[in-house]
Amino acid sequence: MPLFRSYETATAEMAGPHVLKVTLNRPQVGNALNTQMGRDLLDLWTGLTEDPEDVRCIVLTGAGEKIFCAGGDLKERNGMSKIQWLRQHELFERQYWTLVDLPTPVIAAVNGHAYAGGLEMALCCDFIYASNTARFALTEVTLGIMPGSGGTQNLPRAIGDRRAKEVIMTGLPFNAQQACEWGLVNQVHEPADVLDRALETATTIAGNGPLSVQQVKKSIRYGGQMELRTAYKFEVEAYNNLVDTEDRIEGVKAFNEKRNPVFKGR
C-alpha cells in the first residue's frame, strides 16, 4: 500500500530523510475529528504499521496557525443516535490505538489549541512540542460525556493523578507553559518555530539506529506497566535482540573508524 496516498482530511509527506510529516487538514473547522478523518488516519497508521518503508520518525501537526485539533466534530455528531455514536467512536478508538501501537516514534507538533479528542491524540504520541499560544483541555464533562480515547489514562500518566482529576473534572483549559511545567509538553516555542523544532528532533531520531529506537519505544511503553524486576528483564530481552543486527555491527565499526554510521534497519 502506498503510504502517501491522497487523503480527504489529512496530508502525509516526507519532510526530510526518513521523516514523515502528517498534517490534520480540516482548518475550516479547527481540524475537528469527523468520521472521514477517523477512516483516513486509521488507514495511514495501519499502513505505517504494516510497512513503514523509509519512515523512521513521524511528526503530527495541524493545518493553520491557531488550532491543532478541536476534538470531535460536534456538528457531525449533532442528532446522532446511540448506535451511530458508538459506531463512530469505535472507529475513533481503533485510530487512536493504532497510533499508540505504532513501532515508529511520533512527535506531536501542537501548533495551536488541543481540546478534548485533540489533546487525546497528542497524548497518544511519544512526546509533544507546543506553541506558546496553545491551550489544552479535556472538555468532555462540559458536554455530559467523558474522555473516551485514552484521556483518563494517558493524562494521569503524564501529569499525575491529582492534577489530571482536576483538569478532567473541571473541563477548564490550561496554557502551554503550565503543560510544560507539569510534564505534559517537552518544549514550548514561538508559533512559527514549533514545527521546525519538532522536525529537527525527528531528524535526529531518524539518524539513530531505527531498530534501537523501536526497541526503546517498546521497552518504555510496556516496561512501564510491569513490576520493576520484570521490566528489567523485558528491557534486557529488547537489548539482546539488537546485539546480532547489522546496525549494531555498523554502529561500533563507524565509531572506531570515526565516521557517521549508515543504518539500514537490519
Catalytic residue among 13, 53, 120, 235: 120
Active site residue 120: yes
- Interacting residues of 218 by C-beta distance below 8 A, sequence separation 6+: 103, 238
Catalytic residue among 140, 166, 227, 250: 140
Active site residue 140: yes
Residue 127 CA, distance from chain mean position: 7
CATH number at residue 70: 3.90.226.10
Structural domain boundaries enclosing 247: 210-256
pLDDT in tens, the chain (266 residues): 445 567 999 999 999 999 999 999 999 999 999 999 999 999 999 999 999 999 999 999 999 989 999 999 888 888 889 999 899 899 999 999 999 999 999 999 999 999 999 999 999 999 999 999 999 999 999 999 999 999 999 999 999 999 999 999 999 999 999 999 999 999 999 999 999 999 999 999 999 999 999 999 999 999 988 889 999 898 888 988 888 988 888 888 888 988 888 888 88
Given 170, 188, 206, the domain boundary residue is: 206
Interatomic CA distance for residues 150 and 96, integer angstroms: 8
Q: The C-alpha cell of 6 is what?
A: 491522497
Within this chain, do residues 218 and 174 fall inside the same structural domain, yes or no? no
What is the greatest pairwise CA distance in the chain? Answer: 66
The answer to whether position 2 is within a domain reads no
The answer to whether residues 54 and 15 touch, using CB atoms and an 8 Å cutoff, is no
Per-residue pLDDT, 243 = 87
- Interacting residues of 190 by C-beta distance below 8 A, sequence separation 6+: 131, 132
Within this chain, do residues 122 and 230 fall inside the same structural domain, yes or no? no
Within this chain, do residues 39 and 147 fall inside the same structural domain, yes or no? yes
The shares of helix, strand and coil residues in the chain, as percent rounded to the nearest 5, are 50, 15, 30
CATH number at residue 243: 1.10.12
Per-residue pLDDT, 5 = 66
H or E segment at 200?
Answer: helix 194-206
Give the pairing of strands 57-62 and 106-110. parallel
Model pTM above 0.95: no
The answer to whether position 248 is within a domain reads yes
H or E segment at 209?
Answer: none
Within this chain, do residues 61 and 116 fall inside the same structural domain, yes or no? yes
The answer to whether position 263 is within a domain reads no
Count of domains in the chain? Answer: 2
